[in-house]
C-alpha cells in the first residue's frame, strides 16, 4: 500500500473512532438528564418509569393541599380529570401555585405511585398553560371524564 494512501486511511479511521466516541459520550450524558412528561392518567396506569426523573402536569385538586407545620414540605394532588397523582415538594412554592390551577411538577416517581418533586412550575397568567398539560387535559375533557373536582375557570384556553 502506498504510504500516502495508508496515511489517509489511518486519518479516516481516527476520525471515525473519535466521532463515535464523542457521540456515545453525548448520548450517555443526555440519557440521565432527559425527563419526559407524563399525564397523571399514565402514571396511575403504570406507564411512567419508577425512580427516574419525569414531569407530571395537570390541575391541583381542590382541597388537596396539605402543608407541614414543621418544615416547608407541601403535599398535594394533581389530576388530568381521569387520574390523580400525589406530589410531595419541600421548598418555597411559586406565587401562582393554588388549588384548581395548572401545575407541572418535576421529580422522581416513587414505587407507591407518588411523585417526590424537585421543582414546581405554575402557570404564569390566566391564559397560559404548558402545551403538554393543555393537550392532556383537553384529551381527557373531550373523553367525557368527570371534571367535578376542578374549578370551571381553570381549564386550558
Do residues 5 and 75 both lie within one domain? no
For the range 42-48, what are the long-range contacts, defined as Cβ-Cβ under 8 Å and sequence gap of 24 or more? Answer: 42/83, 43/83, 43/85, 43/109, 43/113, 43/115, 44/83, 44/84, 44/85, 44/113, 45/83, 48/109
How far apart are alpha carbons 85 and 45 in whole angstroms?
A: 11
Q: pLDDT band at residue 117, thresholds of 50, 70 and 90?
A: very high
Domain of 6, in residue numbers: 1-34
Helical residues (DSSP H) of the chain, grouped into ranges: 3-33, 40-44, 131-142
Q: Which is more confidently placed, 132 or 16?
A: 16
> In terms of domains, do 133 and 71 share one?
yes
User: Are both 29 and 42 inside the same structural domain?
Assistant: no
Average per-residue pLDDT in the chain? 84
Give how many domains the chain has, as a whole number: 2
70 and 104 together in one domain: yes
- Pair (100, 147) in one structural domain: yes
d(CA 147, CA 145): 6
Q: How far apart are CA 62 and CA 154, in angstroms?
A: 11
* Pair 30, 44 in one domain: no
**pTM value?**
0.65
The predicted pLDDT at position 156 comes to 43
Give the domain CATH number at 148.
Answer: 2.40.50.140
Residues 18 and 47 reside in one and the same domain: no
Helix, coil or strand: residue 115: strand
On whether both 69 and 134 belong to a single domain, the answer is yes
Amino acid at each position: 500500500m502506498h504510504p500516502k494512501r495508508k496515511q489517509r486511511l489511518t486519518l479516516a479511521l481516527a476520525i471515525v473512532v473519535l466521532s463515535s466516541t464523542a457521540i456515545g459520550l453525548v448520548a450517555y450524558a443526555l440519557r440521565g438528564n432527559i425527563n419526559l412528561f407524563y399525564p397523571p392518567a399514565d402514571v396511575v396506569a403504570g406507564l411512567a418509569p419508577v425512580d427516574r426523573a419525569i414531569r407530571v402536569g395537570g390541575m391541583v385538586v381542590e382541597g388537596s393541599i396539605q402543608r407541614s407545620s414543621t418544615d416547608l414540605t407541601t403535599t398535594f394532588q394533581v389530576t388530568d380529570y381521569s387520574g390523580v397523582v400525589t406530589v410531595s415538594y419541600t421548598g418555597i412554592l411559586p406565587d401562582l401555585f393554588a388549588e384548581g390551577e395548572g401545575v407541572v411538577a418535576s421529580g422522581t416517581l416513587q414505587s407507591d405511585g407518588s411523585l417526590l418533586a424537585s421543582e414546581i412550575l405554575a402557570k404564569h397568567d390566566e391564559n397560559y398553560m404548558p402545551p403538554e398539560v393543555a393537550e392532556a387535559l383537553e384529551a381527557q375533557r373531550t373523553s367525557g371524564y368527570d371534571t367535578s373536582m376542578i374549578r370551571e375557570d381553570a381549564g386550558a384556553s
